[in-house]
Structures are given as structure tokens and as C-alpha cells.
Amino acid sequence: MADIESKSPFSPYRADGKLYGFVCVVSGADQPVGEAIIHELAAHGAACIYGISKPSFPFSMHYPLLPYTIRNRIHGPLITACSLKPSPPPSLPPSCNTKIITYPFSPSAEDSTLTLIDDILNTWGRLDVWVCSSGLLGPPSITNTTPADLQKCFEANTYAPFFALKYAPPAMAKLCEKRNYPNAEVKDVKYGSIVVVGSVAGSYGGCWGPCYTMSSHAALGVVRSGVAVLKGSGVRINCISPGQIDIGVDLNNFDMRGMTSQLPPASMQSKESQKSTIGLERAGLPTEVARVAGFLASGFSSYITGANLVVDGGASTMCPLTVPV
């Protein structure tokens, strides 16, 4: 990849955000981790983020209010919920001008992926970041696993990264002049980052069920094979492997067949067990996964590709035989 330190549009140190001007795709927008990643990318100045969700998912009503949420989180309260206006007031900083587009389709569908990329290039002229966070847990035991369950897990956990690896890099290689939309910036070097949100189940056995472990291993395989595929393209590909993440769901509201969730509920492990087996003595948060995604999307990770960044509070290092997933 070109030396982005000498290219001001891609400098991660620019005052208006390390992702200023970037056009991004985040799948799994209907899951807690995907939603947190959208917040993270927007907070750092992305021009546009396509939030990919299931076709049946009702669009999140708070996405139009996201600029205000980010502004208040970073700079302190400026306006209250009762005084919100349809468009951001002039006092909002540039990092709050991010356009959030909810886009319902299956990220494991090849034709839909190609249609989305065409739409992005026609509208924005560039594509910079693609985050695959549309994982599926699957059944916890092989007894309850059908071939159809296995197929769905591989589609969610592996097809989406594969299609991103195959089709996103040519779009990311396209250069463009500065256009007339908020947070627009020139793209004068080839740059792209593909981030796959996997699981520690991609490196270990015995995490949840066979579907999850098998497809997570395959997702990490997409990342590792992608290094050679992307040579000379200016595009990087990396994996984030979360451990126990508190997604705000307890056992009473959880589908134990795992066909509607990306991660198991943290409440499956007691607080005492978390203190015993996790180095940081607690489950992680979706925002803590999202910050790693923001790092991998930006120029701060310009010499990192093919990596697997484990975000598990030290659990797999301290107790590799009792990985809490």
C-alpha cells in the first residue's frame, strides 16, 4: 500500500477524523456489534456508512439521530432529544455529518453484493471499508444440527467475507476527485480495508457448537488466504476474534438454537466464572469490538494485514482450555 503518511487525505492524524471521507459498508447492522461499529466509524468522520441488515429487519429509527448521539458522546450535550431537528445544526462538527444508509439484503448473496457495490460507486465514487459482522451462532450441539443449519452458518460466517474479498477490492482501488457531499474528500491513492468479525471459535475447538466452530475457522481462512490475493491492490484484510461479549441479552430472551444471534449471551457464564477465567475478569462490550474495527479501518493499521486480533480480555491466553464462548 502507498505511504499514507505523506498523503494528507488518508492521514489518521487529521483533526476531522481518522476516517474522514471514507465510504463504508457494515453488515450485521441489526446485531449489537454491527451497530456499535457503525457508531464508531461515524464518530471518526466517515462520509457514508451502509448498514446492511436482514430484509425482514425493521430499520432502526435512531440511525437518523446518530449524528447527535455521537456529538453528545464526544463533545458533551449540545441539544436535547426533544429539540432534535431533521438536519444537524451548524454547531455540529464535521465528524457528525456521516450519512447512514440502512440497506436490507443478505450479505451472503453474490448478486446483491455486486448490486450494492455498483450503487456505492455510482453514488459516492469510492469504497474504502467493508466490515463483515453478520455472523450466526448456530445450534450448540451436533445432535441438534441439521445440514440446513450448517449451510446457514457457512453462508453468514464465510460467504459474506468471501464475497467481500472477491468483489470489494476492485471498487476500493478506484480513485476519485472530491465530490459535493458532506465529509467528501479526494481519493488519490489505492486504499481499502476489509474487516471480518469472527470469533475465538475460529482458533479453538469446543466453543459453542460444531457449526460455529467450523464456519469461524473458515472465516479466518478467508482472511489468511486474502493476504496473497490482495498483494499490490492497496487493500488489507484482517480478522477480529471476540471472546465473551455482553450483547445485552439474557438466557430468558435467547434462542438456544442460535439461529438468530451472532454471539452467545454473556450470562451463560457467571460473574464468578468470568473473574476466574478471563484476564480482565469481565465480559467485553460491543463498543470494545467496534474500536478495534475502527483501528483496522484506519491508517493507524497501515502495515497490518492477515492478522487475527483477539478481543477476549485475555481469556484464551490465560485459560486456553476453557475459552468462555
Q: How far apart, in whole angstroms, are the C-alpha atoms of residue 153 and residue 57?
A: 18
Per-residue tens of pLDDT for the chain, all 325 residues: 445 554 567 788 887 889 999 999 999 998 899 999 999 999 999 999 999 987 765 545 445 555 555 555 544 554 433 334 444 444 445 556 899 998 888 888 899 999 999 999 999 999 999 999 988 888 988 998 999 999 999 999 999 999 999 999 999 999 999 999 999 999 999 999 999 999 998 988 877 889 999 999 999 999 999 999 999 999 999 999 999 898 876 666 667 677 777 777 776 777 888 888 889 999 999 999 999 999 999 999 999 999 999 999 998 888 755 554 5
Q: CB burial class (10 A; 0-12, 13-18, 19+) of residue 111?
A: exposed
Q: Which residues of 23-33 are buried (b: 16+ CB within 10 A; e: fewer)?
A: bbbbbbbbbbb
The pairing of strands 235-242 and 308-311 is parallel
Which single residue is written with the C-alpha cell 484482517? 238
Are 27 and 52 a contacting pair, CB within 8 Å? yes
Which single residue is written with the C-alpha cell 471472546? 243
Give the number of residues written for the chain. Answer: 325
Report the half-sphere exposure of 303 (CA within 13 A, side-chain side). Answer: 2
Q: How far apart, in whole angstroms, are the C-alpha atoms of residue 212 and residue 195?
A: 19
Q: How far apart, in whole angstroms, are the C-alpha atoms of residue 162 and residue 218?
A: 10
Which ranges of 76-209 does DSSP label H, i.e. alpha helix? 110-124, 147-154, 160-172
3-state secondary structure of 95: helix
Please give the model's pTM, rounded to 2 decimal places: 0.86
